[in-house]
Amino acid sequence: MAGLRENVVRAFQFVLSPNDAERKTGEQALKELQSMPGYLSVLFELCANEGDFHLRQQAGVQMKNALIDMWAPKRYDRDADKYIAMASKISAEERDVIRSNLVNAMIAAPPRIRLLFGVMMKVIVDADFPEQFPALMPHVVQLLNTQDYNSIYTALYVLHILAKKYEYKEMGKGREPLLAIVAETFPRLIELFNGLVLNDSLESATAMTMICKTFFTVTHLEMPPMLMNQQWLIPWMNNIVRLFTCPIPAGEPADIDERPNWPWWKAKKWSIQVFTRMFANYAQPADEDVPEQVRFSHQFMEMYACKILEAVLAVLSTVSGGNGYLPERVKTLSLQYLSNGIRFSKTYKVMKTHLQDLLRHVIFPILCFNDLDRQLWERDPQEYIRKEYDVVEEYYSSKKTAENLLFDLFKTRSKSNLTPFMQFIVEVLMRYNTLPAESKNYSEKDGALSVIGTLASKLKRDPAFSGDLQNLIVAHVLPDFQSPAPFIRARVCWCFSLFFDLEMAEPVLMQGIQGVVQCLQDGELPVRVAAAIALRFVLENPFAVKALAPSVGHMLDQFFDLMQKVDNDELIGALETVVEKFEDHIPPYAATVCQRLVVAFVRVSDQSDTNETAALVGLECLKAIQTVLVSIRKNSEAFLPVTQVLLPMIVRSLAPQYLEYFEDILKVTTFLTYFCENPPQDLWQLIPIYLHNVETWAQEYLPHMLPSLDNMISKSKDVFLAGPFPEMYYKMAARCFSTKTPESVQLAACELIECVLQNCPGKVDMWVPGFLELMATRLQSPVKSKGLRVLIFDVFANCLYYNPTLFFAITEKHNWTLAIFKGWFDVLPDLNRVYDRKIMVLGLSAIFAVPQNQLPACMQTLLQPLLVVQLKLMHDAQGIRARRAEYERLQEERSKRRAAQRAAGIQVESSDDDEDLDDDTAFKQELLGDSISQMVVQSVRQSDGIDDADGEVVLSDEDIGVDLDQQEYLEMFARQWVDEGDEDLADDDDVTTPVDDVDEILFFCQRLEEFYGAAQLVAGLSPAEQAALHSLGEQAKNQQQNKQ
């Protein structure tokens, strides 16, 4: 062991060397030493013992990483869709040594080393507690009862780690150990809290922080029964309120950047975090049917909510008028508590008496541009932009929280509150206008514009304010496009954009539009970004689109410049709006726009693992690319250069490391293949990539690959058939039936087979046996989804339609024929779509074309019932089509009626439109569903493997309602497939297939007329069935005459 220790120490000395070669030598030596027995014990000894701090720290980092990787290793089993435990490479002896000594090492360690030990403790607790680590809790309890600060703090630290293990566990699902921990330790914690809150030392603040964190963790998901007892909860609440409101002791750092991490401010932050979470969780019971929850929520509101609210108001009053100091997080959480309080009459009554003072002297100063904002703007404008538009700031920025509070307050409590506050805002604006430039308070003007923009939707709806908004914009918004303060110019762009739908005089509107465009060329980067993003809203006004049409090229150049400097999802969204609104002008710029979007996407996609904003930017880039493709859909010449730009990005991104973008990348390929009349040869390189992904990790994404796979084959049949692609398509489908993939994926596999069969008639004979085998084998296992059962038999129908003689040759060879048709009868009641009925009629009709000597004997007795089945299928399909046509006619009439009402000046309220939408759904269900018959085959009695002598199949005439709601078409342009979890299939008018132009009635009549036994079959029909057949025959004649 001594030799190993010396080697490890020597390796660390090399690692800490400033010489690159020595550092690499040390790192390689450590890798080689990792497999040595006792390696972890040596690291633990080096980290735990006093000595060189850098050596201890390096040893701790190495040990932490080793424990994360080796203590409880797991691997992901894709087929089982879960993680499987693997054997640990750490010996039992080493594990025992580490577990036995880790707590004591934490007690003696300095803070930074203790943090490393804390991570190790979490790894061990998550894997071993309580079964392999039973001594931990007794040790923690023992330390809590000592008088040594380091021992107590370590016990609190470990206790928090234990609580974190069960934080999100529910009762009955693993939460029970947490209740035992609470019962054993919380009485002692409240004793400690009682003393600590009276002590103004930094150690007391640090300990109280850990106590509050543990309380937060324990109560985060649900309140433990012990704490629902007021005997225990009252002292907790009193102490946390006392901690939150107590004066800050002397010693606060002078540097404002260091203050949030000062122990006392951290303790106060966690105290208000506890209150904010409790208010959100327990002001209302999660389940009204659980008496304990109802009772506790009532007690919380009666005993604590208002008391805490008063404490929050008192703390916020310390920053009244923009004076004093509160850490950003404390302000944000305090405002979140107030926002929650607006909803409840009890807490709102407490707030109401303080409201105007709170709005004017606390909320308004928070909204104003301040010195910290100015410093960030000047020092790092990119970071200022990131914070200004980062969605995460909604939760961590006091400004964003204050805006949300204003919005919530005046949305529900505007009466008697909005008018006095807006009077105050107008006073601010008037005072600003009357002062000379050198005396203007630009920060206050920014705050006033923030209020106006935040309340824009409310002001536009409120008759008391809506009539004066144009005057307000003319007097207080438009002039400041020329403001000497750049942050005011940025604020004005944002504020004006929120009133794009206000009825304004054209000169006023034009002045605002010109101001935004002018700011696109501003010298300050944040102003240019604000102007670009404002265009996203301004362009929703048709007047703005018309006015800016001549400037499209200039606007795009400005966007291209900004995209090189800033990664911002709203900026990309604004570019998408420009492309959408000016799509007729985009084709000459399409390749350039896509090139810039690709560059931005490639840049941010490699950052998305560590940067949430980058992930949003990446998704917006892909959405914008889709919009570009839509804009050039009628310009075939533009597609080749755009394809050349996009293809390298697509190929790069069809990989597991870009999983979060995978679906959107596949949408891009869908748009590209759908709109392009003749997909370039280069696009076919995607098919082997699809196959590799499906065979290795991406089976569940086959439904998203399917649209582009279908587009490729339907638009380039010759290329498909000339290459290895039929085999690749088959392998993709086969992979989905050979693994435990969801049935929604198997649905897509069935549809992929349909694509091949329908697009390549007579060209893929060699793959039909494989397709049939996949379906027949799948039916040997339970099929849960009705949709999948239907699609399996759709594939059988497609195979029959493709080549009925080949179909029977294969099914007879494997003795599948009778079983397939028995199952076919069983699936008939599950048919919802016209398409299913149509393809089954085409397939079953094809049977009549099989020569008599090649038709299986078992089919002779099934021909009669199959003829009846086809009659019913065609009858129901016609009924659905007729009802759908009637529904669409009535919808069109309704739309015309509404348009006429609007033209006559009769207002059609939006709320009424919403109600009409609900009525439409019910109306559609009534019209399309309630009178569509489904077939139920009562019996197909078997005798010696065939039907009984009379061959009669009994059909039920019972009407059963069918859900025929159509699914959303993929972005209105590409083929849509069944979403995961959908039990039933539904028709989609936007989906096209090669059999759409085939008239199933004409096909049926022609095949039946050519059938050698037609007369005998028709004679066996009932009079009603014969009449139905005659009617179909007349329709077929008419169809044939029309074609001629």
More confident residue, 965 or 121: 121
Dihedral of CA atoms 874, 879, 881, 887 in degrees, nearest 10, equals -170
Q: Which residues contact 733 (CB under 8 A, 6 or more apart)?
A: 749, 750, 752, 753, 771, 774
Q: Is 955 strand, coil or helix?
A: strand
- Phi/psi at 960 (nearest 5 deg)? -130, 130
Query: How far apart, in whole angstroms, are the C-alpha atoms of residue 458 and residue 413?
Result: 12
Q: How far is CA 193 from the centre of its chain?
A: 42
Helices (H), 220-282: 225-228, 230-245, 263-282
Question: Mean pLDDT score of the chain, rounded to an integer?
Answer: 89
Q: Which residues contact 846 (CB under 8 A, 6 or more apart)?
A: 800, 801, 804, 1007
Q: Tokens at residue 881, please?
A: 């089509």
Contact 398, 322 (CB under 8 A): no
Q: Is 942 strand, coil or helix?
A: strand
**Angle of the 525-538 helix axis to the 506-519 helix axis, nearest 10:** 140
Q: Which residues contact 643 (CB under 8 A, 6 or more apart)?
A: 672, 676, 680, 682, 683
Parallel/antiparallel/unpaired status of strands 946-947 and 74-77: unpaired
Query: How far apart, in whole angstroms, are the C-alpha atoms of residue 827 and residue 787?
Result: 10
Contact 214, 189 (CB under 8 A): yes
Q: Positive or negative CA dihedral for 668, 674, 678, 683? A: positive
722-764 pLDDT per residue, tens: 999 999 999 999 999 987 789 999 999 999 999 999 999 999 9
Question: Residues of the chain with pLDDT > 90: what percent?
Answer: 78
Beta bridge partners of 85: 74
- In the 8-state DSSP scheme, what is residue 303? I
Contact 578, 556 (CB under 8 A): yes
Surface-to-core class of residue 1010, CB atoms within 10 Å of its CB (0-12 exposed, 13-18 middle, 19+ buried): exposed
- In the 8-state DSSP scheme, what is residue 852? G
In three-state form (DSSP H/G/I as H, E/B as E, the rest C), the secondary structure along 443-482 is HHHHHHHHHHHHCHHHHHHCHHHHCCHHHHHHHHCHHHHH
961 pLDDT higher than 50: no
Q: Tokens at residue 521, please?
A: 């060329």
pLDDT of residue 905: 63
- Comparing CA positions, the residue from 699, 681, 618, 616 lying closest to residue 653 is 618
- Phi/psi at 472 (nearest 5 deg)? -60, -45
Average pLDDT of the segment spanning 449-475: 95
800-845 pLDDT per residue, tens: 999 999 999 999 999 999 999 999 999 999 999 999 999 999 999 9
Query: How far apart, in whole angstroms, are the C-alpha atoms of residue 635 and residue 229?
Result: 72
Element housing 884 (H / E): helix 863-903
Q: Which residue reads 């961590």 in tokens?
A: 396
Parallel/antiparallel/unpaired status of strands 82-85 and 942-943: unpaired
54 pLDDT higher than 70: yes
Average pLDDT of the segment spanning 316-331: 93
Element housing 947 (H / E): strand 946-947
Q: How far is CA 369 from the centre of its chain?
A: 33
Confidence of residue 929 (pLDDT cuts 50, 70, 90): very low
Please state whether 969 falls in left (phi above 0), alpha (psi between -120 and 50) or beta. Answer: beta
Confidence of residue 550 (pLDDT cuts 50, 70, 90): very high
- Comparing CA positions, the residue from 934, 921, 924, 940 lying closest to residue 984 is 934
994-1012 pLDDT per residue, tens: 999 999 999 999 999 999 9
Q: Which residue reads 């914690």 in tokens?
A: 189
Whole-Å CA distances, 85 to 73, 97, 175, 501, 553: 6, 22, 22, 58, 58
898 pLDDT higher than 90: no
Q: Is 585 strand, coil or helix?
A: helix
Contact 836, 985 (CB under 8 A): yes
Amino acid of residue 298: H
Confidence of residue 172 (pLDDT cuts 50, 70, 90): confident
Could you report how far apart the first and last alpha carbons of the chain are, in Å? 96
Whole-Å CA distances, 415 to 361, 402, 462: 20, 19, 11
Q: Is 937 strand, coil or helix?
A: strand
Whole-Å CA distances, 446 to 169, 366, 428, 481: 46, 11, 10, 13
More confident residue, 682 or 899: 682
| Range name among 554-558, 698-702, 909-913 with the lowest pLDDT average | 909-913
Contact 616, 391 (CB under 8 A): yes
Query: How far apart, in whole angstroms, are the C-alpha atoms of residue 443 and residue 355?
Result: 22
- Reply yes or no: is the peptide bond before residue 436 cis, omega within 30 of 0: no
Q: Tokens at residue 49, please?
A: 């013992």
Beta bridge partners of 943: 946
990 pLDDT higher than 90: no
pLDDT of residue 951: 31
1025 pLDDT higher than 50: yes
Contact 840, 849 (CB under 8 A): no
Helices (H), 632-767: 639-653, 662-675, 686-696, 702-715, 717-722, 725-738, 743-759
Tally of CB atoms within 10 A around 1032:
21
DSSP secondary structure string for all residues of 409-429:
HHHHS-TTTHHHHHHHHHHHH
pLDDT of residue 17: 87
Q: Positive or negative CA dihedral for 539, 540, 545, 546? A: negative
387-442 pLDDT per residue, tens: 999 888 888 899 999 999 999 999 999 888 999 999 999 999 999 999 998 999 99
1019 pLDDT higher than 60: yes
Query: How far apart, in whole angstroms, are the C-alpha atoms of residue 610 and residue 628?
Result: 29
Q: Which residue reads 């809150």 in tokens?
A: 197
pLDDT of residue 3: 82
Query: How far apart, in whole angstroms, are the C-alpha atoms of residue 600 and residue 566?
Result: 9
Strand locations in 96-188 (E):
none
- Comparing CA positions, the residue from 293, 253, 251, 246 lying closest to residue 271 is 246
Query: How far apart, in whole angstroms, are the C-alpha atoms of residue 936 and residue 926?
Result: 22
Q: Which residues contact 730 (CB under 8 A, 6 or more apart)?
A: 756, 767, 770, 771
pLDDT of residue 613: 80
Longest Cα–Cα distance in the chain:
106
Query: How far apart, in whole angstroms, are the C-alpha atoms of residue 537 and residue 577?
Result: 9
More confident residue, 356 or 636: 356
Q: How far is CA 85 from the centre of its chain?
A: 29
Q: Tell me the pTM.
A: 0.82
- In the 8-state DSSP scheme, what is residue 360? I
Confidence of residue 960 (pLDDT cuts 50, 70, 90): very low
pLDDT of residue 322: 82
Confidence of residue 992 (pLDDT cuts 50, 70, 90): confident
pLDDT of residue 395: 85
pLDDT of residue 928: 40
